[in-house]
Chain A
């Protein structure tokens, strides 16, 4: 038995437990201290996700890829939806990729508190760690899908007889900003839903409906340029509009930078995140009793 001496801390930490009321400050320092737990939870999600599946990580490609095929046939060919001068397949895939990241993050985060109830009722840790980890764990699938997108871009560039040349500009460097915006939006909404889900299990039923609905109001199958100019700022209230348009701009060099739309989207996303953090924090103390 190793005789480990007690850490003789000069300034020993004293924790005061008392009932809290109303709105409390969001304790991000505590989350930072538990950053290793975030890392391990993400790692667990990834390790477990494709265990005992025949196709394994290929699922990360199959879903967006076949959605793209269906979109291309029905929207691109049959309905003749415009695609801002870019081949439709790559146009829709560039939208589906950040969408996949967002919708997976949203539904995982929304269900995360219920899925991890055994941990919540047994051990203390900042509860924020759980939805945070479920949002971040989607990044791996996103990374895999991104390789497919790069492959598609190369294919269209080197395709003999292809007039379209997709040459990435320096705008590609802004891509992480849009990924971050998608994650912030997913976490903001995810925090609201996961906290609400603890009390109201209705959220489980709302989630699939919500993501489906959201897909249609996001310019994935169609470009946002079909929305009348004067209404675009309103359209950008959906932060995913800014994300998808930004993605296409950064990767495919479509049009100009989505300035005003991006600004509106970012403001809404930050509002969602901040309000989500506070609401989650307010509900946090009841989680162990209610979940």
Chain B
């Protein structure tokens, strides 16, 4: 088992950003013939001005174009090298835009590296996104064949696994129904089932587990670990730190396109969670951290404010605190909602909340005019358990557009001093640690008669206690 499965050597990928006319950030740019022709026509003049520059004539315009060129390219991946042995399961972690997806895209041959090489021993199967090529008009049965073929399965292979796929997806009854009539859960299950039954020597997985209900997620994780047990090589990207720790032994951490750490997964997760985030209870977005497509929404600052009005990295569980998001709108947005995700350090979601969750607020801010805004909310005292938490930010108009999202905007620590149960030194399980109104009663009489219980229920607690 000492053989190499994947060998990556100084892999780099340069993306052009710039003239973005909408579309996802990684699709980068379209051009029209007119723009190309305009470029071709104006380039001789630029060359001319460069020549003039050399001869000592200053030219502010030329300096600006050089700077703009810099702005228009971005190294999504920079000099990444690692080796992966056969049968190893490697986690890939990093924040949004760290280069995880780019790495997987190169390894699954969707896109080419700009520099560097990679060597792959065996067939690669990718689960970059499930349901690729699903056609809504086709039935479940037809889509299994189509999707299987797209993922690179032979027809005989699909036929052999057909029943297993259908059983895994739990869609036996609807297998001859067009998938446009499926519920989103059924659709997802079928899509994952086809992909999961692909049997490549190397499997590349990107965040497919973030979907579906809890039951199905468990099933997916089970399938993933059985794949790993069969001695396949797996590269697994996820924001779910518990899944990373459970499924992988070793992980690499990517940051701004560079590989910063390779370590046993538990260590890598700890390192990743504690580094890279500012420890001052505040997150400021620099210009180059804001994707152009988020316009006209401009995130500025996110901070944690304690009950005394100070910005804090650590807050006490027994005190209320405020999460404050500062942003600018360059144009009016209709139906905007700015909200936050609260996650545990392991990546499990605690809650999601938006500033226009209350219908009255939503009506009041139906159209948000250009200008600077603060959206803040108070997290009540005695809610969170001790530990490190992550705040994610989302700004969107429901069903229209997601302007901005940063699932890992910042972290903060909750100190449990004085929280319920802290007089026992053991650590308390659970994401939240609310102070619940416990009542203890001594029940009258010796037995557990039904009459006594119903009597207690009808009387206020303290009466029974005062006895």
Contacts and interface: CB of A to CB of B under 8 A. Distances in A.
A10 B150 CA distance: 26
B124 interface: yes
A280 B200 CA distance: 28
Contacts of A43: 146
Nearest to B178: A51
A289 interface: yes
Contact of A199 (B31, B117, B121, B155): B31
Contacts of B121: 12-14
Contacts of A170: none
B32 A40 contact: no
B152 A125 contact: yes
A36 B149 contact: yes
A1 interface: yes
Nearest to B113: A19
Contacts of A47: 137-138, 142
Contacts of A2: 164
A124 B150 CA distance: 8
Interface in B1-36: 15, 26-33, 36
B397 interface: no
B115 interface: yes
B133 A119 contact: yes
B27 A290 contact: yes
A13 B230 contact: no
Interface in A1-22: 1-4, 6-7, 12-20
Contacts of A3: 230
Given A17-B113, A122-B110, A288-B110, A44 B124 contact: no
A18 B113 contact: yes
Interface centre among A51, A119, A289 (most CB of B within 10 A): A289
Given A18-B113, A19-B114, A288-B111, A48 B137 contact: yes
Interface in A257-291: 285, 288-291
A285 B126 contact: no
B149 to A, nearest CB: 4
Given A12-B122, A200-B36, 8 more contacts: A16-B117, A17-B113, A19-B116, A36-B149, A40-B146, A52-B137, A123-B126, A123-B128
B230 A4 contact: yes
A124 B132 CA distance: 11
A202 B35 CA distance: 11
A77 interface: no
Contacts of A39: 149
A91 to B, nearest CB: 38
Given A40-B145, A51-B137, A19 B232 contact: no
Contacts of A201: 30, 32
Interface residues of B, number: 54
Given A2-B164, A16-B119, A289 B111 contact: yes
Contacts of B108: 123-124
Interface of A: 1-4, 6-7, 12-20, 34, 36-37, 39-41, 43-44, 47-48, 51-52, 116, 118-125, 199-202, 285, 288-291
Interface of B: 15, 26-33, 36, 105-124, 126, 128-129, 132-133, 135, 137-138, 142, 145-146, 149-152, 154-155, 164, 199, 201, 226, 230-232
Contact of A202 (B26, B33, B119, B152): B33
A40 B132 CA distance: 14
Given A47-B138, A48-B137, A288-B111, A121 B27 contact: yes
Interface centre among B110, B126, B231 (most CB of A within 10 A): B110
Contacts of A51: 137
Nearest to B108: A124
A16 B32 contact: no
A33 to B, nearest CB: 9
Contact of B149 (A6, A18, A37, A118): A37
5 residue pairs, one from A and one from B, having the closest CB atoms: A124-B109, A40-B149, A17-B118, A288-B111, A18-B117
B150 A123 contact: yes
A44 B119 contact: no
B104 to A, nearest CB: 10
Contact of B28 (A13, A122, A124, A289): A289
B146 A13 contact: no
B37 to A, nearest CB: 10
B405 to A, nearest CB: 19
Contacts of B137: 47-48, 51-52
Nearest to A1: B226
Given A4-B230, A6-B232, A44-B135, A124 B146 contact: no
Nearest to A285: B112
Nearest to A40: B149
Contacts of A48: 135, 137-138
